[in-house]
Amino acid sequence: MPKKIFISHTTADDTFVTDLRKTLENHGLDVWVDSQDLRGGDTLKTEIESAITNADAFIVVISPRAFKKWVRLEVMLAQENNVPIVPILINGIDLDALLFFFTDEPVAIQIKNNLQESMPQILAALRKEEPTDFDPEQTIDEKPLEELVLKLTDPTIQETDGKKRAIARARLIYRSSQSRDIESNRFTFTAPLGPIEMDDLEWYLEKYYIWPIGVFQEKAKRIESKFPQWGKSLFDAAMQPLCNHVLEGWNKVSTDSDKRFSVLVDDDLPDGAQTDQQRQSKQAATLLLALPWELLHDGKTYVMMGADPLTVRRQLVNR
């Protein structure tokens, strides 16, 4: 049975982590949370490293706001010290988010309704209780899944005014759990973000945490300030006016349903397509899937956040 549990999280999720800590302590577990356990005068890095290396288990709380350098560094430190890791996914975050933190995807626990309903799974993962110790009848019932699909076909690369962009023929589809699909007419989807924006995003996610000070911190702030704009441009490119009848049905989805936005790319070209065309199609498909769909912004908020958040899925057609 673990004696000391380290919880890694971003401060934006303090409310959830406070509830989690109190619940674990009520089950007799000793919990270390930096906002509670760091004392005045402590050296942050030294205290955290010591707490992780001496922990019997490591919980990382992953939300849309948890993609921070310190969270990732703490996960890496837990891995280096072979501390058992339990990822907890909240606020509609998809399992794909694990790829940002882990090379080998661990078993994760998704909080779909509330913390208390998921506690048997969390305790089992921490080996406080074995999986057979709780009644499977008490597990959460599956909610109906309502899905909005952006289907992209015939992807290619187009250069206009010196700017290269991935483009594709597109159709927006609402796949209802209760009725027939609603589809838009075809339209041309042009990626609103190109190599410059994607390079900035790659640097922010993969390199900024290595040296998060000085001029790099200023650069990161400039990139962060562009996120709403990038998200809105993606939203506008995918939700065009001719898709209004699809969105009208989608906007009526009950809050009792799970909601997902899927980007489905078909990079297969007709027989006889030249090798260069096939290569360009696959390159364009990669660029389309790599777009930061998690930043989708409707002009008011990010659609992955709020009271009724979406999850995001990326797909290639499977034949």
What is the per-residue pLDDT for 141? 53
Nearest Cα to 236, choosing from 200, 198, 189?
189
pLDDT (mean) for 216-225: 93
Provide the β-strand partners of residue 164.
Answer: 159
pLDDT (mean) for 159-163: 80
What is the per-residue pLDDT for 258? 82
pLDDT (mean) for 70-91: 90
Shared-domain flag, residues 156 and 61: no
Q: Which of 32-41, 217-226, 302-311 has the highest mean pLDDT?
A: 217-226
Last residue within a domain, chosen from 107, 138, 169: 138
Shared-domain flag, residues 125 and 149: no
Shared-domain flag, residues 129 and 170: no
pLDDT at 230 over 90: yes
pLDDT at 163 over 70: yes
What stretches of 126-162 adopt beta strand conformation (E)?
Answer: 145-160
Shared-domain flag, residues 217 and 287: yes
What is the per-residue pLDDT for 210? 84
Residue-number span of the structural domain to which 120 is assigned: 4-138
Rounded alpha-carbon distances, angstroms, from residue 280 to 72, 159, 194, 317? 34, 13, 15, 17
Instruction: Pull the structure tokens for residue 17.
Output: 């982590």
Indicate which CATH number applies to the domain containing 33: 3.40.50.10140
Shared-domain flag, residues 122 and 163: no
Cα torsion angle, 183, 264, 199, 279, sign: negative
What is the per-residue pLDDT for 291? 93
**pLDDT tens-digit readout, 304-319:** 876 677 888 898 876 5
Q: CA 166, CA 113: separation in Å to the nearest integer?
A: 38
**pLDDT tens-digit readout, 38-72:** 444 445 577 788 889 989 999 999 988 888 888 88
**pLDDT tens-digit readout, 131-156:** 444 444 444 456 678 899 999 999 99
- Angle at which helices 115-125 and 14-26 pack, to 10 degrees? 60
pLDDT confidence bin for 227, thresholds 50/70/90: very high
Shared-domain flag, residues 127 and 150: no
Give the count of domains, the chain: 2
What is the per-residue pLDDT for 41? 45
Say which amino acid occupies 305: M
Last residue within a domain, chosen from 138, 158, 188: 138
pLDDT at 288 over 70: yes
H helices of 40-194, in order, are: 44-53, 69-80, 98-101, 115-125
